[in-house]
Chains A and B, each alone.
Chain A
Amino acid sequence: MSTILIIEQVLNGLQFGVMLFLMAAGLTLIFGVMGLINLAHGSLYMIGAFAAATVAGATGSFLLALAAAMAAAALTGALVEMAVIRRLYARDHLDQVLATFALILIFSEGTRWIFGSLPLYLNIPSWLAGPVALPGGIQYPLYRLALIAVGLLVWLGLWWLIERTRLGIQIRAGENDREMIAALGIDISKLYTLIFALGAALAGLAGALVGTIQSVQVGMGEPVLILAFVVIVIGGIGSIKGAFVGALLVGLTSTLGGIFLPELFKLFTDPATAQSAGASLASMSIYILMSLVLIWRPTGLFGARA
């Protein structure tokens, strides 16, 4: 167990964490402003990945593929918001869960219909391929490093958007007092569509970026969606800061737990048992983390206290 391995795993955890942040940020923003729980957020992630794979296949350009991912997800998000989602704001959470579950069925099966069941592959562009040398003699994939950078940029961008722009003022007003924004003469339904599309674009971006290191297939979005829920429960609903901290915690716990728990168990028992027990426990580690946060602070690390 060398220092290099530890640093590599920490970087992997950060990379996983910032990608979860892209998902969790949209979810938490949509919940904070519109009070909507959106299970179909994972579908937007998937749509981003498929759009990217299609455009990359046709043009060979990775940047165009990313742009397409964001555009496709944002456009789908805006359309769905106008057609379905806006009818759900005044409904209870059960209706929201069911309607967005229905959307998952429609999007997943629809995508399978169009693209088939075989996974698609997105390639890392040549200018981001290969390892890069870090201080201390660590070789780390440049692409994963780029993902961390993108995640941090999005975090900064969101912070700037919410704290420093006119739209941000409206979003913060919307979190506190819906009537007030209406009184300020802001077109609230346009604002909601915009926020939904923004969250969708972030999910689409995450789908394309992660689809490049995994594969692009139907059903890829929901496991990530559920992890993003864990992130939100840990960070506190409606808080971008909470989403960021929660995402990094989940990313690091999941990655480091998978590597170190079996090692830890080897200190006490034979390697084979340690490997399987460690792997089983590692698969539960983030949920145990979530449970501990719930016991300690039921509304999450940065959530409003009840």
Chain B
Amino acid sequence: MIRERYLNLGVLALLLALALLARLADQSFTITVLTKVVILALAAAGLNIALGLGGLVSLGHAVFFGLGGYAMGILAFHAQNFAPLELGPLTIAGSKSMPVIWLTAIAVSALAALVIGLLSLRTSGVYFIMITLAFGQMFYYFSISWAAYGGEDGLSIYIRNGFPGLNMLDPIQFFGICFAVLCLVLLFSDRLARSPFGLALNAARQVPVRVETVGLSPMRLKLLAFVISGAITGLAGALYADLNRFVSPTMFSWQLSGELMVLVILGGVGRLIGPVVGAAIFVALEQLLGGLTAFWQIWLGVILLLIVLFARGGVVGLIAPKGVGHD
């Protein structure tokens, strides 16, 4: 297990070092690309909790990514237009502050995950996949039909939101914030996997009936995992929207749900650093192949197919095969 720990730290150190090098070389585009890696890794790390620990094959995680994005978009939209957001009796002024936006994104996506989870965990297996996919589509069409926030065109935010004491317009500082959030979430995931909750969830994935037989509810364990997972992906959505200073219905699209899953698989399901490695490979392919051909996703498809058919542990599985339980 020592080896995996070194790999985890090594990957994170490499990301940080690349960003700092890019800063020294004044390559702000490279920093932006690396920030994208970090944010996608964060979204996938969220999914990995549901998928890797809970065994919940969610094809609807774009819902949370999109909700996080729109939480940022709507709050910032109201703040930049000086038009308060009226929710029935409640009047909210909007916000350009990242901490406020993040908390909102987390709360909204956790709530959505709770409702979707309650409905879709009534079933299992292939029903679960279809239902999460369908809910994703529901949010997609809803966002398109909601003209007040740009409908199909989405919302543009002119200036990146702020973080107390830092200058978020400086790419390296924004990268730093995203990177710190990723490290915190990975630390939390690592602890979660080894915690009593993780122990029970891990068993609920493998043999739900055993978990029931010791007096615990697999459904509640999985529901909570789904909520935590959705909240993290929602936070990533808010950061992603801030990176692009733009949100649109594509953040809710089924392709995005599929891509998040691909990130987890490319890296290795249930592996702590899997989402980071997956996101790095995905963005690297996009940058490298995307420069050569407009149809780079064909090759992404081929690589994914080969991994699924022949290398089921993903890239991390190839480098550091999984050991027995974490003692």
Contacts and interface: CB of A to CB of B under 8 A. Distances in A.
Chains A and B directly touch (beta carbon < 8 Å): yes
Interface of A: 31, 37, 39, 84, 87, 93-95, 97-99, 101-106, 108-110, 112-113, 222-223, 226-227, 229-230, 232-233, 237, 276, 279-280, 282-284, 287, 290-291, 294-295, 298-299
Contacts, number: 122
A230 B301 contact: no
Q: By DSSP majority rule, is chain B's interface helix, strand, loop, or mixed?
A: helix
Contacts of A39: 258
A109 B295 contact: yes
12 contacts: A93-B129, A98-B261, A99-B308, A110-B295, A222-B255, A230-B130, A237-B126, A276-B146, A276-B148, A279-B145, A284-B142, A291-B119
B300 A229 contact: no
B316 interface: no
Interface of B: 51, 57, 59, 119-120, 122-123, 125-127, 129-131, 133-135, 137-138, 141-142, 144-148, 254-255, 258, 261-262, 265, 269, 295-298, 300-302, 304-305, 308-309, 312
Nearest to A95: B308
A84 to B, nearest CB: 7
A79 B41 CA distance: 35
Contact of A98 (B135, B148, B265, B295): B265
Contacts of A291: 119
Contacts of B295: 109-110, 112-113
A245 to B, nearest CB: 17
Contact of A97 (B59, B131, B137, B147): B59
A105 B301 contact: yes
Nearest to A292: B119
Contacts of B138: 283-284, 287
A115 to B, nearest CB: 12
Contacts of A95: 308, 312
A106 B297 CA distance: 7
B269 A109 contact: no
Contacts of A37: 126, 129-130
B305 A97 contact: no
A97 B298 contact: no
A109 B148 CA distance: 33
B140 to A, nearest CB: 9
Nearest to B137: A226
Contacts of A99: 304-305, 308-309
